[in-house]
Amino acid sequence: MQQHPNPLSPIPSSANALVGKRIKHPRIAEVMSELEALIYPGSQDSTLIVCGPTGAGKTTLARYMVEAAVERAAIDMEQNAGTIPAIFVEAPSSGEDEFSWRLFYQQILAELGDDLDAPKAAYGIDVHSGRMVRPRGAGGNSLAALRTAAERGLEERNVQFLVVDEAAHIIHQTRNSYKLEIHLDTLKSLVNKCGTQMVLVGSYDLYPLMSLSGQLARRHHVLHFQRYRQDKPEDVRAFVACLNAFEKMLPDLWGGELTRYAEALQENTLGCIGTLSSVLVRAARFAKADGRWSTEALRRALLTEAQRDRILTEILEGEEAINPGLTRIMRKPPRQSSATSGRNAA
């Protein structure tokens, strides 16, 4: 980072104002627009997958999606008090060898406002008598009972879509591809039962889900949440605009100095706004601890070369995997003569 003269300035009392702040930057608006076009009753895309680099702002996107759905449904929610148009959960990482469906269903029920202390029971219809019965072993908060309660809650509350953040945890806590396919079939079954679309949000690790089976691939659609690249002028302008937004949050702290380092910050954070936010929060905290703002506080807050290189490797591998799949239909194969076609066939 190039050094510039920078007079020391006192730290404002609002130095913590950056913590938890969100910016609805252009990339979020773009992906939200695509998602809103694909979320509708009877959609063939039962599951939407949003992939992108770490620190790009995917969790911010997920929360904005749910908030926007609630705002749009405000009138309906007033008329139907039990309506919840969308909910947000995070795929649990329990530390167990396998993905915990119990914790997953409990999170859904908590977001639906169900009383988790109340015992759940799974009921079915006896094929001979036609009466509703409670299966043996379904007492208490069994997994089957929690699943039934989650299905019933999603359906009764008219949940249009369920956002699952950090969905890569489902993959990381699955031992083999066969078990992973079972997990995805479970999600598909949940969607089919209650008519709620699923939005899986996570890193590029999610993209390989497309290759598990043709059935799953047909019912899923992938959206790429991209970073702001330095080789695209429109991305550079968008990144600078985000930096300006952060600067306006604490004008007394940055003193108009922040945008001076826009190029260095975009390079260090790889154009990921979530990572940029983390860097700026650290810089503000360092400055507060020092009692004064300086460019050195910003320098200390940057990613190390090892951190940046590791993240960059994951980004490049992810982009290489996902971009051909998203752009293949835009490229037409060259025309071949009949003779060439015959030789190739041979």
Q: Are residues 263 and 179 in the same domain?
A: no
Q: What is the C-alpha separation between 41 and 85, in angstroms, rounded?
A: 12
Q: What is the C-alpha separation between 196 and 151, in angstroms, rounded?
A: 9
pLDDT of amino acid 210 = 65
Residue 344 lies in a domain: no
Where does the pLDDT of residue 294 fall: very low under 50, low under 70, confident under 90, or very high at 90 and above? confident
- Token pair, residue 66, equals 């749910």
* Higher-scoring residue by pLDDT: 302, 182: 302
Residue 69 CA from chain centroid, whole number: 16
The mean pLDDT of 314-335, rounded to a whole number, is: 66
pLDDT of amino acid 91 = 87
pLDDT of amino acid 184 = 76
Average pLDDT, the chain: 79
- Token pair, residue 154, equals 């999603």
Q: Are residues 213 and 242 in the same domain?
A: no
Whether residue 16 has pLDDT greater than 70: no
Residue 109 lies in a domain: yes
pLDDT of amino acid 346 = 36
Q: Which of 100-104, 108-112, 232-236 has the highest mean pLDDT?
A: 232-236
Q: Are residues 37 and 148 in the same domain?
A: yes
Q: Are residues 118 and 99 in the same domain?
A: yes
Residue 52 lies in a domain: yes
Tens of pLDDT, residues 3-12: 443 444 555 5
Q: Are residues 115 and 264 in the same domain?
A: no
Where does the pLDDT of residue 270 fall: very low under 50, low under 70, confident under 90, or very high at 90 and above? very high
pLDDT of amino acid 258 = 85
What's the number of domains the chain is made of? 2
- Would you give the DSSP letter of residue 96? S
Where does the pLDDT of residue 251 fall: very low under 50, low under 70, confident under 90, or very high at 90 and above? confident
* Higher-scoring residue by pLDDT: 183, 230: 230
Residue 128: which residues within 8 A CB-CB, separation 6 or more?
none
Where does the pLDDT of residue 54 fall: very low under 50, low under 70, confident under 90, or very high at 90 and above? very high
Name the residue range of residue 244's domain: 9-22+229-310+316-324
Helix ranges (H only) for 80-199 are: 101-112, 143-156, 168-172, 177-194
Helix (H), strand (E) counts: the chain: 15, 9
Whether residue 343 has pLDDT greater than 50: no
Look at residues 183, 175, 203, 113 and name the one whose alpha carbon lies nearest to residue 150: 113
Residue 262 CA from chain centroid, whole number: 26
The mean pLDDT of 11-39, rounded to a whole number, is: 79
Whether residue 341 has pLDDT greater than 50: no
Q: Are residues 152 and 44 in the same domain?
A: yes
The mean pLDDT of 293-298, rounded to a whole number, is: 86
- Phi and psi at 156, nearest 5°, equal -65, -30
Tens of pLDDT, residues 84-96: 999 999 988 867 6
Tens of pLDDT, residues 151-180: 888 988 889 999 999 888 877 766 666 677
Look at residues 100, 238, 110 and name the one whose alpha carbon lies nearest to residue 174: 100
Q: What is the C-alpha separation between 20 and 135, in angstroms, rounded?
A: 46
Residue 276 lies in a domain: yes
Q: What is the CATH number of the domain that holds 135?
A: 3.40.50.300
DSSP string, 57-80: SHHHHHHHHHHHHHHHTHHHHHHS
Q: Can you say whether the dihedral through the CA atoms of 180, 182, 184, 187 is positive or negative?
A: negative
Of 224, 251, 272, at which residue does a domain stop? 224
